[in-house]
Amino acid sequence: MFEVFESTESQVRSYCRKYPVVFSKAKNSEIFSVDGERYIDFLAVAGSMNYGHNNPEIKAKIMEYLSEDHIINALDMYTDAKEEFLLTFNEKILKPRNLNYKVMCCGPTGTNAVEAALKLARKNTGRTNVVAFSGAFHGMTLGSLAMTTDRTSREGASVPLTNVTFMPYDNSRLDSIAYLKWILEDDHSGIEKPAAICLETLQAEGGINVASVEWLQEIRKICTEHDIIMICDDIQVGNGRTGYFFSFERAGIQPDMVVLSKSISGFGTPMALLLMRPELDIFRPAEHNGTFRGNQLSFIGGTAAINYFVEHHLDEEVQKKAVIVEKFIQEEILPLDSRLSYRGMGLMWGIDFTEINPALALEAVHEGFERHLIMEVAGRKDAVLKLMPPLTVPEDILREGLAIVKASVEAALK
């Protein structure tokens, strides 16, 4: 059944090994195999389908655009699709949040926007070092990978990954704020002053580690005091995932740069953006060029997704669904074994098997798949079972999926 994939496609393929089936169709939070088997989606294509598969309101706009022979790719030339996206993003997302950012259209993947942020932070400050955090995931190209901590990914680089100093993330055994202050203030700390501090407010791949509001505010303060650029990687936890459009909103802070990708295009088509304070916008024309910096279908989908987010009050929806998930985990999952713990917010939750046996998280993924639920693992030793449905998941399917999570955890614990 998988012959052509196994004989022809590279060994590097990964997700397909966990979900060995040929998929064909998808609707909101359900995916269907070529045999018509139904699966509930608690992965949302790694956070790129926040608005649901084939969201009808977004799809209608894309179909309309396609049917009228509009331009599809245009490098970074001016198009009406881009104009409408920029206007909508500014009016409906940035302005209501008092955010004043220039928007840079990067190459289509998240990691390209991270690279752009790194280059621009270094160019602005004249410094090369950056601070990132243990548990971070920022992408697979060399600059982003240098800030990514998992060993398997780093080993893929085959060259030294340099110019990054790692600090412990919030809730580590070490007080990272005190440590950070010390390395910046001690002229014998031996660590170069960084151009930027790059962080996720909630480390997704790192195991659903939620930074506290106080910690985020302290980092913001340190960046301001020491003239360091604060970069927030909102690629996975932006676009409403945490119950806010931007994940940093809950801390009342404004990063100097923000990277967005995955669900920003609304429909699963590629797009990545770097947002920056206007005075940081110093790249010369073409200094971070690329062919695919402006997929017009992504602009059309992105505009429709913003309208969907605002009109359906998706942030409030997510906060309501968060209560359902957390209550279920507390009442139905944790009693299964006192060594289980959990973390999360919005529609991003993790069940941690570390204290029992890390391997059981993957076991639960397999058990879930048997029961037609798609989930992923995350974190150190892949010990965290990660739950991340589309934000638009209907409540009955959310509850159906959660019941399967329970059955899968039970089966893994046996």
Ligand X SMILES: Cc1ncc(COP(=O)(O)O)c(C=O)c1O
Contact 133, 169 (CB under 8 A): yes
Q: How far is the CB of 386 from ligand X (least distance, A)?
A: 11
Q: How far is the CB of 68 from ligand X (least distance, A)?
A: 29
What does DSSP assign to residue 156? T
Residues 190-229 that bind ligand X (CB under 6 A): 200, 204-205
Q: Of the ranges 105-113, 189-197, 340-348, 393-401, which one interacts with ligand X (CB under 6 A)?
A: 105-113
End-to-end CA distance of the chain: 31
Within its chain, how far is the Cα of 359 from the centroid? 24
**382 near ligand X, judged by CB under 6 A:** no
Q: How far is the CB of 256 from ligand X (least distance, A)?
A: 17
Q: Which is nearer to ligand X, 82 or 262 (CB)?
A: 262
Q: How far is the CB of 367 from ligand X (least distance, A)?
A: 24
**Structural tokens at position 315:** 């942030």
Instruction: Give the H or E element holding residue 321.
Output: helix 314-328
Q: How far is the CB of 379 from ligand X (least distance, A)?
A: 13
Q: Which residue in the set 52, 61, 106, 110 belongs to the binding site for ligand X (CB under 6 A)?
A: 110
Q: Of the ranges 23-31, 106-114, 241-249, 362-370, which one interacts with ligand X (CB under 6 A)?
A: 106-114
The residues, any chain, with a CB within 8 Å of residue 255's CB and separated by 6 or more, are 220, 230, 231, 232, 248
Q: Which residue in the set 50, 55, 88, 109 belongs to the binding site for ligand X (CB under 6 A)?
A: 109
- Beta strand 384-387 with 348-352 is antiparallel
Distance CA 410, CA 338 (A): 13
Q: Which residue in the set 28, 29, 111, 303 belongs to the binding site for ligand X (CB under 6 A)?
A: 111
**139 near ligand X, judged by CB under 6 A:** yes
281-290: Cβ within 8 A, 24+ apart: 281/102, 281/104, 282/120, 282/123, 282/124, 283/104, 283/119, 283/120, 283/123, 287/119, 288/104, 288/106, 288/115, 288/116, 288/119, 288/120, 290/106, 290/107, 290/112
Q: How far is the CB of 169 from ligand X (least distance, A)?
A: 13
**Residues that contact ligand X, how many (by CB under 6 A):** 15
**Structural tokens at position 146:** 């240098």
Residues 230-269 that bind ligand X (CB under 6 A): 233, 235-236, 261
Residues 112-131 that bind ligand X (CB under 6 A): 114
Residue-by-residue DSSP string for 198-259: EE-SEETTTTSEEPPHHHHHHHHHHHHHHT-EEEEE-TTTTTTTTSSSSGGGGGT---SEEE
Q: Which is nearer to ligand X, 111 or 239 (CB)?
A: 111
What does DSSP assign to residue 282? -
Build a one-symbol-per-residue string for 35-74: x at contacts with ligand X by CB under 6 A, - elsewhere: -----------x----------------------------
Within its chain, how far is the Cα of 173 from the centroid? 25
Contact 25, 32 (CB under 8 A): yes
Q: Which is nearer to ligand X, 276 or 404 (CB)?
A: 276
Q: How far is the CB of 236 from ligand X (least distance, A)?
A: 3
Q: Of the ranges 87-95, 103-111, 149-157, 396-404, which one interacts with ligand X (CB under 6 A)?
A: 103-111
What does DSSP assign to residue 13? -
**292 near ligand X, judged by CB under 6 A:** no
What pairs with residue 26 in β-bridges? 31
Closest CB to ligand X belongs to which residue?
110
Q: Which is nearer to ligand X, 136 or 329 (CB)?
A: 136
Q: Which residues bind ligand X (CB under 6 A)?
A: 46, 109-111, 114, 137-139, 200, 204-205, 233, 235-236, 261
